[in-house]
Amino acid sequence: MPIRLSSRRQQSGLSLLEVLIATVVLSTGLLGLAGLQIAGMKTTHNSYQMQQATWIVHDLLEQMRANRTEVFRVDTDSSPASNYLLPELTNAATFCGNPAPTNCATTTCTKEAVASYDLYRTLCGYGATSGISNVLMGGQLQITCPTNNCRNGVTINLQWDERNATRQADFDGGTDGIETFTINLNAVL
């Protein structure tokens, strides 16, 4: 004969407390996934910015290699240094407020004019999807010859800002949620 345990009450379904606990656990998990998605999107965007900055510096170096005689031009009494040089950090957005130089893609230009045109395209771009001012937030560029002789090499310093609102204190020591990133490249043409 089977043994039957008698129960004072039989359970039929879930109690409201069990449903509430399951809802809290599920909500916490979904919020965690949403946070991971946002962090992943920020990391992807930061990687994209770094890739764009690297590409811009590489493109500028190739333009300078194609016009070496202008890069190697030094200060003399009769002519200033190369048009490629930017001795101070130059804000791209401010620089792009200046009138565009002659379009050397459609017109025959001197080496000095080609340098001015290359620099303008690097800072201001070909359109809304290229150039430091359009791609990098707060982008600034500096091009120097550390030994005052560009034959010994050039230094390209590109800086831009990125938002990082997830930290209480930024890498740069501030609390504004914006951090400055830099590519500093020394190259021999």
How far CA 36 is from CA of 29, 42, 143, in Å, comes to 11, 10, 39
pTM: predicted TM-score of the whole model, two decimal places: 0.75
pLDDT of 119 over the 90 cut: yes
Mean pLDDT of 87-101: 90
Band (15; pLDDT cuts 50, 70, 90): confident
Residue 98 sits at φ, ψ, to 5 deg, of -75, 155
Is residue 84 scored above 60 in pLDDT?
yes
Distance CA 97, CA 91 (A): 10
Contacts of 18 (CB under 8 A, 6+ apart): none
pLDDT at residue 74, rounded to an integer: 73
Which pLDDT belongs to residue 140? Answer: 95
Residue 136 token pair: 């990098």
**124 C-beta neighbours (distance < 10 Å), count:** 20
Domain ranges for the chain? 17-187
**pLDDT at position 18:** 87
Q: What is the predicted pLDDT for the residue at 51? A: 92
Residue 168: pLDDT above 60?
Answer: no
* pLDDT the model gives residue 7: 59
DSSP 17-44: HHHHHHHHHHHHHHHHHHHHHHHHHHHH
Spatial distance between the Cα atoms of 132 and 161, rounded to a whole number of angstroms:
11
More confident residue, 78 or 179: 179
Checking if the pLDDT of 130 tops 90, the result is no
Q: Specify the higher pLDDT residue, 77 or 34.
A: 34
Q: What is the pLDDT of residues 31-63, one digit of tens each?
A: 999 999 988 888 888 888 899 999 999 999 999
Across 151-178, average pLDDT? 73
> In this predicted structure, what is the pLDDT of residue 163?
77
Q: Where are the beta strands (DSSP E) in the chain?
A: 86-91, 140-144, 154-163, 178-187
Q: Which of 26-40, 64-78, 110-124 shows the lowest per-residue confidence on average (mean pLDDT)?
A: 64-78
In the prediction, which pLDDT does 160 show?
Answer: 92
